[in-house]
Amino acid sequence: DIFLRVAREWKQSGKADFIVVNGENAAAGKGLTPKLAAEMFSHGADVITLGDHAYDQREIMPYLDETPAIIRPANFSEGCPGRGVTTVSTPKGDLTVISLIGRVFMDPRDCPFKKADAILAQKTKLAKHIFVDFHAEATSEKNAMGRYLDGRVGGVVGTHTHVQTADEKILKGGTAYLTDAGMTGPKDSIIGCETEPIIKRFLTGLPVRFQPAEAMVTLEGALIEMNADGRAVSIQRVQIPDHGG
């Protein structure tokens, strides 16, 4: 609910011209449904990115092929439902959004670095302003991607770990970078879940059922400003507690 409220307010006030949301945990941590996607779009989301839970909800698969504004990682195997790149119009011009997924501590995928090169080589199909969601576990892989794409895209922001990092910066080539955007969800939790079952699993090694937590819901992310040539001017981490309203 806090995302829907903030997205609507930022769009109406002009604080944000374009909103990208990683929605792959929207369905109680297990992917995205068409209903949830429609709700996000109706409140101001322009593009929804996914990750390793992209296909958790079977009903989303045909929807991905029909909805260009929802993208899954571009370096999934060829033939997977959906697409990994999209370009959408904003009040200030077009923005291309690219979704990539990492390989360190993750399931085997095609090389995200080579896939990024292949996408960026198709310059006539891309907007001047480009944003990359890199869905990856290892901070080293995310840092490497940020620097690899520095000067070629306007922003690289990591997702997946649910823990926001404090290393936002503008890289030398003009790319805004943040290792992980964090999580919109309950802060009084372990990556969004009730703490006791997870602690029990660490103590015993036994399987447990993870339950979504509810306390101290907070929206996390980043606000990036780009200039006319597609380079980043600023990046600001965002943390907004849900006080209702």
Return the active site residues.
53
Q: Are 197 and 189 in contact (CB under 8 A)?
A: no
What angle do helix axes 112-120 and 139-148 make, rounded to 10 degrees? 20
183-222 burial, b if ≥16 CB within 10 A, otherwise e?
A: bbbbbebbebbbeeebeeeeeeeeeeebbebeeebbbbbb
Cα(99)–Cα(192) distance, rounded to whole angstroms?
Answer: 23
Dig out the tokens for 10 from the structure.
């930022």
3-state SS, residue 98? strand
What is the β-pairing status of strands 169-170 and 217-226? unpaired
Dig out the tokens for 91 from the structure.
């009040």
CA-based diameter of the chain, in Å? 55
Query: Distance between the two ends of the chain, CA-based, in angstroms?
Result: 10
3-state SS, residue 154? coil
Ramachandran angles phi, psi of 70, nearest 5°: -110, 125
Ramachandran angles phi, psi of 31, nearest 5°: 80, -155
